[in-house]
């Protein structure tokens, strides 16, 4: 009990972070509905109360250096207007844009690709009976007129949902970075499209699928050095058991990834593929009326095949691969209309210190 009280005091005195700490602690399970899931499923805003979510983090994420977009500072506000709802997000980096720029930066030495600058997302939707729909505009723009470095993105997301199913189409309309002048380097996303959806097969079983296709092109000193096309497919199901506000869930999926660089030469990776069978187990339980504890473990089981090829040889081929077990845990503090979430331990780290305890923390206020 003393440990729980200590945790509550620390949570209450920590700077704000958002509920992505909750989603992270629960292994990003596909059935979750939270403020942070509105970025991949716009119609989710109709399953949430009017609220303001504030997330602490880094001011400027660097692709190829920072691990993920979950490290950045951002905020999300959701408000109702009759049968309509709208949402405004500041600072959220698009996950696919970030991942592609990070990969391009890592595979092309000497090209310092920056991430989105001051990204903005605006969502609006309506509800008619059991069905809700919403659309999101994604936008960022940056221009350094001295160094001639520019960055811009634009995208559209359309989603619909009922009590039994949800579907979303994610269109990347523009994604570009360039360093002009004598440098003459460029990154350009190409025809990125994602379609995702889910269906409650039963009251305790959620089935889902996600298909993403696209690619990018990298220019170094005016010459195209990388032209990548990718296809990622994920299907799976999650079984959940709820009782008195507590939840235990487990699920399994099949994830396939294919990538080909038509401009690869020498030791550069020309083809990469993977096939995984991820299993997730998680729990979220009320330790007290004001405190919720949560955690999850994920691991690829039975199938974990990975292969990388250059133009002349196979450099990596594992079937199955190395250990993939991932652990996450967190806690949530409820204070009236305020919800404060935070991480407890870093992945597979059993040491509680300033780097791990509450490494991610968030605050949500319900209007």
pLDDT of residue 352: 53
Decide if 232 contacts 212 (C-beta within 8 A): yes
Q: List the single range of 3-17, 215-229, 301-315, 331-345 with lowest mean pLDDT.
A: 3-17
pLDDT of residue 126: 97
Residue from 306, 307, 234 nearest 270 by CA: 307
- What the block records as the tokens of 356 is 């791990």
pLDDT of residue 13: 35
| Mean pLDDT calculated for residue range 109-127 | 93
Q: What is the pLDDT of residues 356-367, one digit of tens each?
A: 555 677 889 998
Beta strands in 102-183 (DSSP E): 120-128, 131-144, 149-161, 165-179
Other Cβ atoms closer than 10 A to 282:
24
pLDDT of residue 356: 54
| Mean pLDDT calculated for residue range 221-233 | 94
Q: What is the pLDDT of residues 297-316, one digit of tens each?
A: 999 999 999 999 998 889 89
pLDDT of residue 181: 84
Residues 199 and 211: their CA atoms lie apart, in Å, by: 15
Give counts: helices (H), strands (E), the chain. 3, 18
pLDDT of residue 346: 54
pLDDT of residue 4: 42
Q: What is the pLDDT of residues 30-70, one digit of tens each?
A: 999 988 899 999 999 999 999 999 987 888 889 988 888 88
pLDDT of residue 35: 87
Q: List the single range of 126-135, 187-196, 233-242, 327-336 with lowest mean pLDDT.
A: 327-336
Assess whether pLDDT exceeds 60 at residue 343: yes
Q: Which helix (H) or strand (E) holds 335?
A: strand 326-335
pLDDT of residue 90: 96
Assess whether pLDDT exceeds 50 at residue 3: no
Residues 169 and 271: their CA atoms lie apart, in Å, by: 27
pTM of the model as a whole: 0.88
Buried b (16+ CB within 10 A) or exposed e, 243-277: eeeebebbbebebebebbbeebeeeebbebbbbbb
Q: What is the pLDDT of residues 245-271, one digit of tens each?
A: 899 999 999 999 999 999 988 778 899
Assess whether pLDDT exceeds 80 at residue 154: yes
User: In CATH, what is the architecture of 2-366?
Assistant: Beta Barrel (2.40)
Residue from 140, 137, 228, 143 nearest 187 by CA: 228
Residues 212 and 345: their CA atoms lie apart, in Å, by: 32
The separation between CA 208 and the C-alpha centre of its own chain, rounded to angstroms, equals 16
């Amino acid at each position: 009990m003393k440990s729980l009280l200590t945790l509550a005091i620390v949570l209450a005195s920590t700077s704000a972070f958002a509920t992505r700490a909750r989603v992270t602690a629960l292994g990003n399970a596909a059935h979750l509905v939270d403020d942070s899931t509105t970025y991949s499923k716009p119609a989710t805003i109709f399953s949430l109360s009017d609220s303001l979510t504030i997330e602490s983090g880094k001011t400027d994420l660097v692709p190829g250096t920072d691990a993920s977009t979950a490290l950045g500072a951002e905020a999300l506000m959701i408000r109702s207007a009759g049968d309509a709802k709208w949402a405004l997000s500041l600072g959220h980096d698009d996950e696919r844009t970030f991942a592609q720029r990070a990969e391009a930066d890592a595979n092309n030495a000497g090209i310092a690709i920056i991430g989105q600058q001051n990204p903005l997302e605006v969502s609006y939707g309506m509800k008619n009976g059991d069905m809700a729909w919403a659309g999101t505009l994604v936008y960022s723009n940056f221009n350094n007129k001295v160094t001639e470095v520019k960055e811009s993105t634009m995208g559209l997301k359309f989603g619909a949902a009922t009590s039994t199913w949800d579907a979303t189409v994610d269109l990347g309309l523009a994604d570009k970075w360039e360093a002009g002048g004598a440098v003459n380097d460029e990154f350009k996303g190409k025809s990125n499209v994602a379609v995702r959806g889910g269906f409650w097969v039963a009251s305790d079983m959620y089935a889902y699928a996600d298909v993403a296709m696209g690619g990018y092109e990298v220019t170094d000193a005016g010459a195209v050095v990388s032209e990548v096309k990718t296809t990622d497919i994920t299907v799976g199901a999650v079984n959940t058991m709820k009782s008195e506000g507590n939840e235990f869930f487990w699920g399994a999926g099949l994830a396939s990834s294919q990538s080909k660089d038509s401009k690869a030469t020498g030791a550069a990776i020309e083809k990469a593929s993977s096939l995984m069978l991820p299993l997730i187990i998680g729990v979220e339980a009320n330790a007290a009326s004001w405190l919720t504890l949560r955690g999850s473990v994920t691991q690829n089981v039975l199938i974990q095949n990975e292969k990388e090829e250059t133009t002349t040889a196979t450099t990596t081929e594992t079937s199955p691969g190395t250990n993939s077990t991932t652990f996450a845990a967190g806690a949530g503090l409820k204070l009236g209309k305020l919800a404060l979430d935070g991480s407890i331990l870093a992945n597979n780290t059993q040491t509680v210190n300033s780097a791990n305890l509450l490494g991610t923390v968030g605050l949500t206020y319900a209007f």
